[in-house]
Amino acid sequence: MLLKESVAASLEAIIKALENDLHAEMIEDEKLRGLTVLRIDGYQVLIAPVSDKVPGDEVRAMAGYNYFWFNAMEETAKHKGHIIVSIVNAGKNPLKENVLFSKVVGSLLTDRESFGFYMAGRTLVLEKNFYINNVNEMSKGRLPIYNWVYFGLRQRRKRQSIYTFGLTDFGMKEMEIVHSNKTFAELNAVMYNVVHYVLASNVQLKSGETLGLSRNRKLTIKESKGKFVQGITLKIEC
């Protein structure tokens, strides 16, 4: 997460709140390095403030792809510090781990010096309140998909495309809808519903299958080389 200043003003109080809210147990606290490790529900969650900017210009570059945060490039360029958050022993249950990660980050973002979330591996640069609101509304029937998966948009010759970036972290293939005559809003709604379904239900879609969005509407799934994403992706005919 990104900080306005080089240090988080109320980080210690937030960590204490995390201990209460998530029944966390402090297993390591090295004040000289500012490193904290909490045990939460069998996982070790590392929280490490860094009194400096994220190296290079990667945050600002990634912010250029964001369409949920107006003037993200200008705003993120102002950050003076950041906090690294990671689940050290992740890999057992991606959905559960992402839910836990979101709860921890959502709490940390309440610090008055924080203003955004950045995850390079998924091309995500999200404004603070956007992230927190998605976490607050999180339930089994409403996962914070936009906090987890980037939806890329492309247009060429009056045709629209959309692709995901981040599903591989859940052990699933990325998805694409390529050169559709549907609007970006329509494509986004379709992709959001499909992604939510596969993550919430832990379903691995396969080439040749059909997916019913409603009684009268079915989508065909095909597997082929990615158009906008490296590797093999699932193409949704829409």
- Predicted pLDDT of residue 28: 80
| Full 3-state SS string of the chain | CEECCCCCCCHHHHHHHHHHHCCCEEEEEECCCCEEEEEECCEEEEEEEECCCCCCCHHHHHHCCCCCCCCHHHHHCCCCEEEEEEECCCCCCHHHHHHHHHHHHHHHCCCCCEEEEEEHHHCEEEEHHHHHHHHHCCECCECCHHHHCEEEEEEECCEEEEEEECHHHHCCCCEEEEEECCCHHHHHHHHHHHHHHHHHHCCCCCCCCEEEEECCEEEEEEEEECCCCCCEEEEEEC
- Nearest 5°: the CA angle 115, 39, 168 is 65
- Predicted pLDDT of residue 211: 86
Number of neighbouring beta carbons within 10 Å of residue 76: 24
Answer yes or no: is pLDDT of 34 > 80: no
Q: Give the model confidence (pLDDT) of 50-68 as tens digits.
A: 999 999 889 999 999 999 9
- Predicted pLDDT of residue 35: 87
Pick 160 or 217 by higher pLDDT: 160
- Mean predicted confidence (pLDDT) in 107-132: 94
- Predicted pLDDT of residue 32: 56
Q: Give the model confidence (pLDDT) of 81-93 as tens digits.
A: 999 999 999 999 9
Average predicted confidence (pLDDT) for the chain? 92
Q: Residue 46 in contact with residue 85, Cβ under 8 Å? A: yes
Q: Residue 159 in contact with residue 180, Cβ under 8 Å? A: yes
Residue corresponding to tokens 């993120």: 76
Answer yes or no: is pLDDT of 23 > 80: yes
pTM: 0.93
Cross-strand bridge partners of residue 35? 30
Length of the chain: 238
Q: Residue 154 in contact with residue 160, Cβ under 8 Å? A: yes
- Predicted pLDDT of residue 31: 64
| Least reliable range by pLDDT among 13-22, 114-123, 187-196 | 13-22
At residue 216 the predicted structure's pLDDT band, cuts being 50, 70 and 90, is confident
Return d(Cα 91, Cα 81) in angstroms, integer: 28
Q: What are phi and psi of 71, to 5 degrees?
A: 50, 35
At residue 2 the predicted structure's pLDDT band, cuts being 50, 70 and 90, is very high
206 exposed, middle or buried (CB, 10 Å; 0-12, 13-18, 19+)? Answer: exposed
- Nearest 5°: the CA angle 206, 159, 125 is 70
